[in-house]
A and B are shown apart, each in its own frame.
Chain A
């Protein structure tokens, strides 16, 4: 999590539903109506970098500015699907940085069960990813749909596993460099 880390910046741009607790003049631009006011109780999807600070800032001040909700990517429905079979879900469609997002969200919410579900998901999918990465048919065969649904972290994992397997073959003399 470095300041300059591109993936962490992109993670912070993912949106989550926020509810404004007070009326703010001139902030309509967040809703797509520039120049208008925002009414108390308005629900808007705000990027994580904005919503997080607005909800935390409230704890230091007098009243709450904004309350956060779980993003759709981590809804009850998704959690149930992950519990049933983690391998069938298209995580990329839910959130391009799914695990990074959940990590950030779980800093803000107290959700013990979600931690377990996500850890289990990652483990099961990691095994599947390693399988595809070591299998030369992996990227063309029936695994296409699964591999297309990998989130960014998983993609990096796939690439690492794939490249390492190749380098191992070169090292042991089974394959030639390039």
Chain B
């Protein structure tokens, strides 16, 4: 049985939609990871290039008919057009699904209070939620999305000053906890007055006051 699967070595004759498939497999892996793997710029670019090629092919096929194409008179051309169209549609679906999986992940990070942009600047720090390579795993568009979504979320949360919407749902066992300051965070205002967070100091504070700072990596909880 002749099969396109049997000739993977033939690079030039990659079946349409195969690259899009690779992208979706990346998305599948992303779903089960805790961090966001690097953005596949190369594949995304190759898939969009494939769509442009297909579109050019459609224009070329339709050229001789000068706008008066009749599918039933020319079933072979109609079939070729259908295949081109379906491949473009498939690629579109793969691209959209890939980006959606990633944006959903970004939104999730926003809600849990992980500042992925902040972490990228502190790559030399101990904890990294990023890939092993030094540079950003987000595309520039994704960075912008993350920033703006964060702003939206902050504006939304701002409506309720007495409830922390992104706070944990687990009831705390102890109201007060011991924390160690990992990075200078300056002064913060609490119900019991101002506390000054200088690096390496150790404090006994109300858990609700410092939860965000722990999530952001400024403080470490001591048990």
Contacts and interface: CB of A to CB of B under 8 A. Distances in A.
Interface string B90-101: 100110110011
A10 interface: yes
A4 B3 CA distance: 28
A62 B13 contact: no
A29 B24 contact: no
A160 B14 CA distance: 37
13 contacts: A3-B93, A4-B97, A9-B94, A10-B25, A25-B77, A32-B15, A33-B13, A34-B12, A42-B2, A43-B1, A43-B2, A61-B75, A65-B75
B188 interface: no
A45 B28 CA distance: 24
Q: How would you classify the secondary structure of chain B's contact residues: helix, strand, loop or mixed?
A: helix
Contacts of B10: 32
B13, B79, B80, most chain A CB atoms within 10 A: B79
A31 B4 contact: yes
Contacts of B57: 26
A50 B15 CA distance: 11
B75 A13 contact: no
B86 A61 contact: no
Given A22-B76, A29-B16, A54 B83 contact: yes
A64 B101 CA distance: 37
Contacts, number: 101
Interface in B55-77: 57, 71-72, 75-77
Given A24-B79, A27-B80, 13 more contacts: A3-B93, A4-B100, A30-B83, A31-B2, A31-B4, A32-B4, A32-B7, A50-B17, A50-B87, A61-B72, A61-B75, A62-B72, A62-B75
Contact of A22 (B3, B75, B90): B75
Contacts of B87: 50
Contacts of A5: 97
A15 interface: yes
B5 interface: yes
B44 to A, nearest CB: 16
A29 B12 CA distance: 9
